[in-house]
């Protein structure tokens, strides 16, 4: 595995998020390869049948979460690309999906016959996971703006035998506006937002080179716009999950805090139960982290030092997933209900 070399500015930011002991664990884990995790596609095969089939190939299969037997880890040291070349993968019996990536849909808990919007759907890992839980009933609208990503999405849906999904190609904000004009509202919405990808360094080392604080600020603005427009097309009592694969509070808690302020008594943040170690959302942070002291010293000083952002106390109900806690990628999940 190629050594990952994050920018010093990024590491300084992570030090503000973690204790010294945690930071050292984080630095070690990002240099290790990810687990070979897959998700059984129950539209085509049962977890028991798939496990038996893969074990007959000599693969060592474990199922880390009892309540989710479809989620499996292949314990063998495989050749590069071996997971994707197997006949079982080509037949759509399983989807190669990182463990943390599966948590959005576990939180959303799609049910049969619901109308669901997957606003930023490509490459389709979460769309296919939804369809599987819905048993191909109801309707999923899976949207992406990029034609190449749409092609990948369509290919994955076909391979997995998904038949309850309509693919749209549009800007996410514009699509929500169109649905609003048509008075089309959804039971559930997944906003797996475009983000800086800080949590994906183990699978995508190039993220280290692309990391930029200014990009994070721009993404935060986009994420807030996407959430605002998505929430407005949610049915009363409907649910929306907001998720990212980044650690940046500007893209996570700041967006959640914005949502709570924007929609006030129309929105309720839900507690999430996930089968991994989760840490609560931060209730304070400074965007320009380098200018301020660590979070533990954010109290107002006699010199009138500018404070970091203080978020709504309910932001703590969000889930932060760190690589060192679960031997996974980094992730963030928040779930909301439209009250009225």
As to burial, measured by CB atoms within 10 angstroms (0-12 exposed, 13-18 middle, 19+ buried), residue 48 is exposed
Count CB neighbours of 311 within 10 A.
22
| 160, 245, 278, 318: the active-site residue | 245
Asked whether the beta carbons of 235 and 333 are under 8 A apart, the reply is: no
Q: Active-site residue 245, yes or no?
A: yes
Indicate the helix (H) or strand (E) that contains 51.
Answer: helix 47-56
Planar angle of CA 180, 254, 221, nearest 5 degrees: 55
The residue with tokens 């109900």 is 317
Question: Can you tell me the distance from the alpha carbon of 10 to that of 165, in angstroms, rounded to the nearest whole number?
Answer: 38
Residues 6+ apart with CB under 8 A from 185: 179, 233, 234, 235, 238
Count CB neighbours of 284 within 10 A.
15
Q: Kindly list the catalytic residues.
A: 245
């Amino acid at each position: 595995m190629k050594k990952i070399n994050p920018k010093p500015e990024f590491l300084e930011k992570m030090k503000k998020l973690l204790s010294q002991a945690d930071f050292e664990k984080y630095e070690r884990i990002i240099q290790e390869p990810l687990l070979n995790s897959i998700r059984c596609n129950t539209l085509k095969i049962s977890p028991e049948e798939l496990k038996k089939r893969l074990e007959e190939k000599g693969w060592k299969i474990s199922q880390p979460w009892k309540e989710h037997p479809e989620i499996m880890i292949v314990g063998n040291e495989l050749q590069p690309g071996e997971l994707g070349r197997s006949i079982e993968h080509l037949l759509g019996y399983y989807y190669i999906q990182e463990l943390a990536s599966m948590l959005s849909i576990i939180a959303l808990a799609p049910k049969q016959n619901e109308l669901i919007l997957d606003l930023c759907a490509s490459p389709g890992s979460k769309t296919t996971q939804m369809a599987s839980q819905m048993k191909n009933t109801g309707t999923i609208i899976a949207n992406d703006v990029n034609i190449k990503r749409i092609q990948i999405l369509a290919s994955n849906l076909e391979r997995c035998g998904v038949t309850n999904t309509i693919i749209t190609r549009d800007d996410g904000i514009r699509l929500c506006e169109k649905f609003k004009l048509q008075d089309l509202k959804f039971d559930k919405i997944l906003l797996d937002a475009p983000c800086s990808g800080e949590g994906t360094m183990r699978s995508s080392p190039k993220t280290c080179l692309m990391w930029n604080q200014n990009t994070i600020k721009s993404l935060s603005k986009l994420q807030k716009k996407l959430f605002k427009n998505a929430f407005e097309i949610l049915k009363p009592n409907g649910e929306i999950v907001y998720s990212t694969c980044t650690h940046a509070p500007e893209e996570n808690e700041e967006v959640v805090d914005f949502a709570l302020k924007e929609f006030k008594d129309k929105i309720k943040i839900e507690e999430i139960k996930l089968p991994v170690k989760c840490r609560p959302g931060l209730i304070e942070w400074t965007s320009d982290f380098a200018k301020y002291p660590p979070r533990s010293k954010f109290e107002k000083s006699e010199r009138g030092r500018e404070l970091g952002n203080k978020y709504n106390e309910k932001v703590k109900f969000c889930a932060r997933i760190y690589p060192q806690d679960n031997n996974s990628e980094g992730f963030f999940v928040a779930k909301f209900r439209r009250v009225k």
